[in-house]
Structure 1
């Protein structure tokens, strides 16, 4: 016959097991979510660097999108393609393979960098969007401005190239990616989440309501793209970075048939 003390210990053990089961999802999210947030911080730093590289390349090439896109990819490549793993040849060869995997092996026909469903956890679509905020396409003429680098006395007349880069950062940490994405949709006022709370399984309605006045101000096109990706199971976070620089070469009309660099949609 079990003693009274043994029965008490058994009840306490069972209570501890239940409490652990209830709090385990939250604990796991705190660990994985913290790791994911630090990785997103790295993505933010690289996005700012990529925006700088894009502007620098464009200012030297008359605002041409192609060198701008390639420069931005070069800045983001370490966060998109981990190519410096042990083995597989020299660092230069690994870099060339990583570059080719995003733009193709033929240097004469390189599209915009894309995620690849076969190797990017089911993700597809462009790695980033590149918006040319200034100069506007309508202000660039066929006549080359030979005085583009002679600003007025206050410097306001200088021709500047300003871009906004939207990096579709791929969330890599399982479970944390799903939770963060659903929270983000509610935070941005895009979609409610009223199903079982993944962080507290006893809560049958999480109650993540759409924010009436979202704190983060995103373009409608960015919001629509984000919602489309998340609802199809492609968990990304749109990291935005901007940069501006005085142009070293005059803008050419041939490079401004459209405002933004393909495949970035117009109207942003």
Structure 2
């Protein structure tokens, strides 16, 4: 009798116990990725200000910074191999646990397309040429890192919680943490605001059972080289949607 009661109690509490262990591990990895995203925004903008706003260079800088969060980078050789595999800004399903799609989006708030002149000025970086702070050309970019949640079970549960908190999809099925009751994970009052493009992409990946979290960071820096029109054919760096 007692052994049967213990087995029932263990069956009820085991999912929650497993989630506490795996969920804590996944949240620590998410925090690490968040820190790397902040640095990736800085690194992308720092690269752009010295390379005339070159989108390819900015995207490569961001990817190189983010690689430790989803690829093997424990040696120079491994880091080089990981960068070669991902420099096209695409997850590789055979390398990345089945994940696909874009790794990072780079959206630029400034300079705007209409403000870019094709002239090349030798004294562009000379502070004496600026009459006021408003004359300074800045490069401002927002990074969206599609961070892959890679811890089994925790990725599924956390994704359901995130979607409910963001107001994208309620979950009212069987509670995976306490199977004896029904979950009531619905939009909270302080829902995380997301743009339409990010919402659509997030739901698309979840529907493919690719559990990701869109980490975002912004950085701004004074341009040290004049922005060139060929690097601003679009405001945002491909494949980032222009509506972002």
- Superposition TM-score tier, normalisation by shorter sequence: over 0.9
TM-score after normalising by structure 2? 0.93
CA deviation after TM superposition for structure 1 residue 18, in Å: 1.2
Answer yes or no: is 1:172 the counterpart of 2:172: no
Residue 145 of structure 1 and its aligned partner are, at CA, apart by 6.0
For 2:10 and 2:134, the matched residues in 1 are separated by 63
User: Is 1:151–2:127 an aligned residue pair?
Assistant: no
Q: Which residue of the other structure, out of 113, 121, 136, is the alignment partner of 1:137?
A: 113
Tell me how far 1:217 sits from its aligned partner.
Answer: 1.4
State whether residues 189 and 214 of structure 1, in contact with CA within 8 Å, keep that contact through their aligned partners in structure 2: no
Residue 16 of structure 1 aligns to a residue in which SS? helix
Aligned to 1:161: 139
Per-residue deviation at 1:148?
4.8
CA distance in 2: counterparts of 1:115 and 1:83, whole angstroms? 16
1:93 aligns to 2:71 (yes or no) = no
Match of 2:185 among 186, 189, 208: 208
Contact 2:16–2:177 at 8 Å: present in 1 too?
yes
Superposed displacement of residue 152, structure 1? 3.3
1:88-110 deviation per Cα after TM superposition (whole angstroms, max 9, x unaligned): xxx3332221221113xxxxxxx
Distance 1:130 1:28 in 2: 36
Where 2:60 maps in the other structure, the secondary structure is: helix
1:195 aligned residue (173, 176, 179): 173
Q: Given the two structures, how large is their TM-score scaled by the length of structure 1?
A: 0.85
Which of 124, 144, 160 in structure 2 is aligned with 1:182? Answer: 160
- Provide the residue aligned with 1:59 in structure 2: 49
Listed as ranges, the matches of 1:20-99 within 5 Å are 20-84=10-74, 91-99=75-83
Larger radius of gyration: 1
Counterpart of 1:125 in 2: which secondary structure?
Answer: coil
The counterpart of 2:96, out of the listed 115, 120, 125, is 120
Q: Secondary structure at the match of 1:156?
A: helix
Query: 1:140 touches 1:253 (CA, 8 Å); kept in 2?
Result: yes
Provide the secondary structure at the position in 2 that maps to 1:119. coil
Query: When the two structures are aligned, how many residues end up with a matched partner?
Result: 241
**Could you say what the CA RMSD is over the residues aligned between the two structures, in angstroms?**
1.6
CA distance in 1, matches of 2:146, 2:212: 6
- 8 Å contact from structure 1 (residues 167, 239) kept in 2: yes
Match of 2:9 in 1: 19
Q: Deviations 1:44-75 (Å, cap 9, x if unpaired)?
A: 11111111110011000111101111111111
Describe the SS at the equivalent of 1:114.
coil
**How far off is 1:260 after superposition?**
0.6
Unmatched 5+ stretches in structure 1: 1-10, 85-90, 104-111
Instruction: Give, in whole Å, the separation in 2 of the partners of 1:186 and 1:173.
Output: 20
